[in-house]
Amino acid sequence: MSKRFDYVRSRYNYFIERDEGVIGYNARTGTFALLSSENAEILRGDGDLKKAIDPRQLRRMGFLHKDDEIELIKKTFLASRGGDTLHLTLVPTLACNYSCEYCFQASYRTSAIMRPEVEEQLLQYIESCIQFGWRRFLVTWFGGEPLLRKAQIIKLTEDIRKVVRSARGKLDVTMVTNGALLDQDTAKELDKLGMRNVQICFDSLQEQTGLRGMRTSTGEPSRIYKNLLESKDHLDIQVRINVTNKNAHEVENILDDLRANSVPTVVLSHVYDYEGDAGYATNSDGKRNPSDGPCGHGCSLGRSEYATLENLALSVSDNGMQMLARKLTPKSAACSASAHRMIVIGPDGSISRCWHSVGAVTEQSGHISEGYKPLPSSASNIDKQWADYSPFENERCKSCNVLPLCMGGCAHPRIFMDQSLTPCDAVRFNIEKYVGKIGRAILISDAEAALINSSDGR
């Protein structure tokens, strides 16, 4: 009796033609491999699978499979829940010294700050996380504008480090700031504090009301840009350009300016209009509900248009290839929230599970005074919604050929706004271009090319 051959081609295969042969890429495993001409032809669907050379190796690399690929991806997703690092996002205030028109906190921003009793509860909460078993923590200071509470951040970070060290744990600290208060002295203080990295955002080339520009009307560096240039030698600073339908035409010039001033790490971020897309609005009390009236900020650029800009940015950025490699690295989950490893703590000690829920009272799941409660054992209805979320419930995501690279994107609008429109990442539109850029950049020696294309193809 002949042995059963039950291998199937992966739906996540991509191919790049080179003089040395064909480079294959599999999005489920993230593997790039130089393929023999025989295997390349077979994997592309032009040959008999039974004639594939070393099918077990092709299976290990992901180009062939025997199982349901969606189930394999789902197992990876479920295994990501928990992990070894708890991501604590701490919001010392919702106050801000800017008023960006697309900010999701704009309608319910307050001047509330974290009081001393909440500070003490926070340290006790982290102790309860340690008692549960967490030993690695990533703390991100968020806002509002966190540097409005710089002294508090310095004190609390030192206190948190003492608590974590007493349990022989590990603590990393990051911050998201608009940069207006990140002068050189502050940068030195944060460096001394052990801040791992800081993210600063721009959304225009020139300063305007409601926009964080890089240049003044006279062409001089803006306050934020000046702070960035003076601080980048003291801190690992990542610059994020928030791309909207109002600044898309400036993105290339912004990138050129940053590159001319040796700013090494720059990323683009698509500003989505989740509320506008879903027909929801959040009132001044932080309650988000369906709305018959105006909703959303109306600043979102179309998905394919944004994808074009991202491809441009990756082509001209000094760290473009590094970012491309990350884009083509399979994810276990879209973010820490969908992986059940995100806790967001507001100024009042309230708990939510996502940055987009900061200050939204209808999306809070508890209070730090109650101690750490893991998903899915928490009795909170909000936590149950997060526990039940799965990108595999959406048929469009489930059938997408880049699912392993985005894992369904942002879960927030689906959980809280009944959103059916998928927040597709640029990789969906650019996958062939991204694979081609990496595939053509891989170094292949003459010996390797000769070996892979030898008569036995091994």
**Sign of CA pseudo-dihedral 367, 372, 378, 384:** positive
Q: What ranges make up the beta strands (E) of 12-73?
A: 13-18, 21-26, 31-35, 64-65
b/e per residue 63-92 (b: at least 16 CB within 10 A): bbbeeebeebbeebbeebbebebbbbbbbb
C-beta neighbour count of 115 within 10 angstroms:
12
User: Which of 276, 270, 259 lies closest to 307, judged by CA?
Assistant: 270
Is residue 230 within 8 A of residue 191, CB to CB? The reply is no
Q: What are phi and psi of 276, to 5 degrees?
A: -65, -40
SS3 (DSSP) at 93: strand
Match 């006790």 to its residue by tokens: 124
Is residue 372 within 8 A of residue 128, CB to CB? The reply is yes
Alpha carbon 254 to its chain centroid, in Å, reads: 22
SS3 (DSSP) at 112: coil
- Supply 219's token pair: 């062409």
* 275 contacts: CB under 8 Å, gap ≥ 6: 104, 281, 282, 288, 295, 296, 297, 417
| Distance separating alpha carbons of residues 347 and 112, to the nearest angstrom | 6
Tell me what pLDDT residue 450 has.
Answer: 62
Q: What is the DSSP string of 247-298?
A: TGGGHHHHHHHHHHTT--EEEEEE---HHHHHTEEE-TTS-EEE-SS--S-S
Tell me what pLDDT residue 3 has.
Answer: 56
Query: Greatest CA separation found in the chain?
Result: 83
| Distance separating alpha carbons of residues 30 and 13, to the nearest angstrom | 10
Is residue 363 within 8 A of residue 382, CB to CB? The reply is yes
DSSP state for residue 4 in the 8-state scheme: P
Q: In Å, how far are 3, 53, 113, 152 from 45, measured between CA atoms?
A: 22, 15, 61, 61
| Distance separating alpha carbons of residues 334 and 63, to the nearest angstrom | 23
b/e per residue 354-377 (b: at least 16 CB within 10 A): bbbbbbbbebbbbbbeeebbbbee
- Supply 308's token pair: 């074009």
- Supply 153's token pair: 């951040």
Is residue 13 within 8 A of residue 63, CB to CB? The reply is yes
- Supply 112's token pair: 């509330």
pLDDT tens series, the chain, 458 aa: 445 568 999 999 999 999 888 999 999 999 999 999 899 999 998 778 988 999 999 999 999 999 899 999 999 999 988 778 999 999 999 999 988 888 888 888 888 999 999 999 999 999 999 999 999 999 999 999 999 999 999 999 999 999 999 999 999 999 999 999 999 999 999 999 999 899 999 999 998 877 899 999 999 999 999 999 999 999 999 999 999 999 999 999 999 999 999 987 888 999 998 888 888 888 888 888 888 877 888 999 999 999 999 999 998 888 889 999 999 999 999 999 999 999 999 999 999 999 999 989 999 999 999 999 988 777 789 999 999 999 999 999 999 999 999 999 999 999 999 887 778 899 999 999 999 999 999 987 766 666 566 644 44
Tell me what pLDDT residue 454 has.
Answer: 60
Tell me what pLDDT residue 210 has.
Answer: 76
Tell me what pLDDT residue 411 has.
Answer: 93
